[in-house]
Structure 1
Amino acid sequence: MSQRPPRPRAFRLDDRRIAVDDQPAPYAPEAVIRSQHEPIPAAAAPAPIDEAELKIEAAQKSGLIARSRFSLARLAWTGLGGLVSLALGLWATNLIEGLFAKAESLGIIGVVFGLVFLAGLIGVAAREIIAVARQTRIAEMHVALAHARAADDRAAARRLVGQLIALYRDRPETAHARAEVEDATRAIIDGRDLIDVAERALLRPLDHKAQGEIAAAAKRVSLVTAISPRAVLDVVFVVAQIVRLVRRIAEIYGGRPGLLGLVKLARSIGAHIAITGGMAVGDSLLQQLVGHGIASRISARMGEGVLNGLLTARVGLSALAVCRPAPFSVDKAPGVSDVAPFLFSGGKGE
């Protein structure tokens, strides 16, 4: 006959016969409730990452976090850069020597200006390096969050969500969202749910802001190129607006791209557009254009404006996908028709 478990007893708190055990309680085993007919799996397989997210990761690896590779082109550019640096250094040396030959005071002034220029150059280089490192860290965080959510890894999710909170710690408008996510970090057990809460609280307002920037840029481009008298002005304006839009989206999501950072972002955005099929076949742009009969109702210039607006919106969406520090999981990734519906309404949506 098995031994019966002890019954609960009542006792007084001031009873001297009561001894307190100071040893820490053992960890309780994790219990999983299953139905009677449900088989017990050997190991839980992680959820697969969707194809769209794999394309974004491929674009980021080809641009922002790509490792250095040896190539003849890189070697040629390195040699050319060295020659240009030597030429500039020799020119500056001859200039300072010429100023000292004229007058000692002019030489001293030239040396001071040279030191000021050198200090500014070092500052710019340091800022570029920090900006590239920051954008690279955001890209790596995006990939890590995607894999942590797919595997439902609680430890990785807590660590990465902490990094996401730290990324926006200097943004006063995110204070309420950061407090909400910090509370969820202490209360939520599942890694996937924790990442979803962080995305909903921290990134959803930034998504709306970035989509508003894309819509405004697409509207400006479509309007200006429709009334511009010269094709050269169209090209200059579209390029300027795209550069401004990419920089603005990166800043919204926490990046601060300088010149080098912008070049790396452009590589990632170009790779994303190429991987996802140019003008986003998934958005069915051609079908929407034909379905609305835009080509038959507007002039040729207006048609060019619409196409330039579509191109700007498409580049903006690729920049959003690349610069976002987490994948889209709670919300669906926006398309061109979501951020710029006025381009498909033949002017009725404005």
Structure 2
Amino acid sequence: MSRQPRAFRLDDPGVASGSVVVTDEPLDAIEAADGVIVPMGPKRRAPWVGIFLTALSGLLVLGLGLAVERLIVDLYAVAPWLGWVALVLAVVAAAAFLAIIGREFVGIWREKKIEHLREAAADVLAVKDHKGAKAIVSDLLSLYGSRASAVPGTARLMGLMDEIIDADDRLAIAERELLAPLDAQAKRAIAGAAKQVSLVTAVSPRAIVDVAFVVFAAVRLLRTLARIYGGRPGLFGFLRLAKAAFNHLAVTGGVAVGDSLLQQVLGLGLAARISAKLGEGVLNGLMTARFGLAALAVCRPLPFIREETPKIGDVAGELLSRAEAAAE
């Protein structure tokens, strides 16, 4: 038997004594926080840790170089052609190592550029800076200039560069022409990852399989979203993005797990009428979708201006519909 809705006054003794507790629905709270622009915050510096790691890395590189040099000399003493082969292999390995380092620096540079654009856009919108808005649009065009086929709005936006347009409107046009198609790709990627996680969790026989696939799906989703918005993260760039995404998730209050969340999201009593594995699958799918929205927020080069901020229902509505159908 369900309880009938009741109204309470704020000066009611029952409310004042704490016998009536008013709580927000978790999904409503999560979706209300989705549109919040979360600054990355000042970076805490640890100079001694950095000095220690730099010195230790230098020692390791010197030791490795000395070991390689001795190996080449020893091989040359055994047979000259072995020494030359070892020298060529060492040169190839050094070139590959420099290429990897260069890729890491380029990836981190692009991530910082995207982060700077997002923060600069927030400042421009706050003070209505027309020149700043024009500079941001120019940077966006340079960021997506090599992807004109994937982002067809670049040509139309370039034709408006010399027009007199308000800062808000200029950034809104850039958002519509450049980022709206990318947002659609990102939402499809998040929805696909959420459905995959839900399905695998529902049918997998072991909890370790669930955990492994959830981690794998989160890593793949973060890389996919970064590539969609122009990022090219290497290992360290990916770790930096992952940290930013989890920070965003924590600030917006999205990390809320447990059976109570599932019951309140799906409706009171609904989780009790579906199988435990299906309920676990839906919950993991919802949390994957929530992580995807946090990753989208840190990978997108602009805050949401005129475009609607994606919500849980936009990328995981099918999961809720499936669970409701299974419960009937």
TM category (shorter chain) comes to 0.7 to 0.9
Q: Corresponding residue for 1:167?
A: 143
Deviation at 1:87, TM superposition (A): 3.9
Deviation at 1:174, TM superposition (A): 4.8
Unaligned stretches of 5+ in structure 1? 1-49
Q: Corresponding residue for 1:204?
A: 180
> What percent identity do the matched residue pairs reach?
44
Q: Corresponding residue for 2:273?
A: 297
SS at match of 1:184: coil
- Where do residues 31-70 of structure 1 align in structure 2 (5 Å cutoff)? 55-58=37-40, 61=41, 66=43, 69-70=45-46
Work out whether residues 262 and 271 of structure 2, in 8 Å CA contact, stay in contact via their aligned partners in 1.
no
Residue deviations 1:84-140, cap 9 Å, x none?
A: 334433432332233223211111100100000000100110111011101100100
Q: Corresponding residue for 2:310?
A: 334
Change (3 A) 1:175 1:306: closer
Change (3 A) 1:75 1:228: farther
SS at match of 1:216: helix
Deviation at 1:296, TM superposition (A): 1.4
Name the stretch that deviates more: 230-239 or 315-324: 230-239
One-letter code aligned to 1:239: V
Work out whether residues 37 and 303 of structure 2, in 8 Å CA contact, stay in contact via their aligned partners in 1.
no
2:83 corresponds, among 104, 107, 119, to: 107
Residue deviations 1:127-163, cap 9 Å, x none?
A: 1101110110010001111111222111111111111
SS at match of 2:308: coil
- Where do residues 175-254 of structure 1 align in structure 2 (5 Å cutoff)? 176-254=152-230
Higher helix share: 2
Change (3 A) 1:187 1:55: closer
SS at match of 1:186: coil
Give TM-score, length-normalised by structure 1: 0.76
One-letter code aligned to 1:56: V
Q: Does 1:274 find its partner at 2:256?
A: no
One-letter code aligned to 2:119: V
Q: Please give the alpha-carbon distance, in whole angstroms, between the structure 2 residues aligned to 1:314 and 1:267.
A: 15
One-letter code aligned to 2:190: I
1:316 corresponds, among 266, 279, 292, to: 292
Q: Please give the alpha-carbon distance, in whole angstroms, between the structure 2 residues aligned to 1:251 and 1:100.
A: 46
Q: Please give the alpha-carbon distance, in whole angstroms, between the structure 2 residues aligned to 1:295 and 1:156.
A: 50
Q: Please give the alpha-carbon distance, in whole angstroms, between the structure 1 residues aligned to 2:184 and 2:211.
A: 28
One-letter code aligned to 2:315: V
Q: Please give the alpha-carbon distance, in whole angstroms, between the structure 2 residues aligned to 1:79 and 1:233.
A: 40
One-letter code aligned to 2:319: L
Q: Please give the alpha-carbon distance, in whole angstroms, between the structure 2 residues aligned to 1:340 and 1:193.
A: 31
Q: Please give the alpha-carbon distance, in whole angstroms, between the structure 2 residues aligned to 1:51 and 1:217.
A: 22
Change (3 A) 1:312 1:119: same
Work out whether residues 215 and 339 of structure 1, in 8 Å CA contact, stay in contact via their aligned partners in 2.
yes
Q: Corresponding residue for 1:6?
A: none
Q: Please give the alpha-carbon distance, in whole angstroms, between the structure 2 residues aligned to 1:300 and 1:286.
A: 11
One-letter code aligned to 2:124: A
Q: Please give the alpha-carbon distance, in whole angstroms, between the structure 2 residues aligned to 1:104 and 1:86.
A: 25
Q: Please give the alpha-carbon distance, in whole angstroms, between the structure 2 residues aligned to 1:212 and 1:313.
A: 11
Q: Please give the alpha-carbon distance, in whole angstroms, between the structure 2 residues aligned to 1:334 and 1:126.
A: 35
Q: Please give the alpha-carbon distance, in whole angstroms, between the structure 2 residues aligned to 1:310 and 1:197.
A: 32
Deviation at 1:305, TM superposition (A): 1.6
Q: Does 1:155 find its partner at 2:131?
A: yes
Q: Please give the alpha-carbon distance, in whole angstroms, between the structure 1 residues aligned to 2:134 and 2:261.
A: 40
Q: Corresponding residue for 1:35?
A: none
2:119 corresponds, among 143, 148, 159, to: 143
Residue deviations 1:35-77, cap 9 Å, x none?
A: xxxxxxxxxxxxxxx987764223xx46xxx4x7225544554
RMSD (Å), alpha carbons: 2.6
Give TM-score, length-normalised by structure 2: 0.81
Work out whether residues 55 and 272 of structure 1, in 8 Å CA contact, stay in contact via their aligned partners in 2.
no
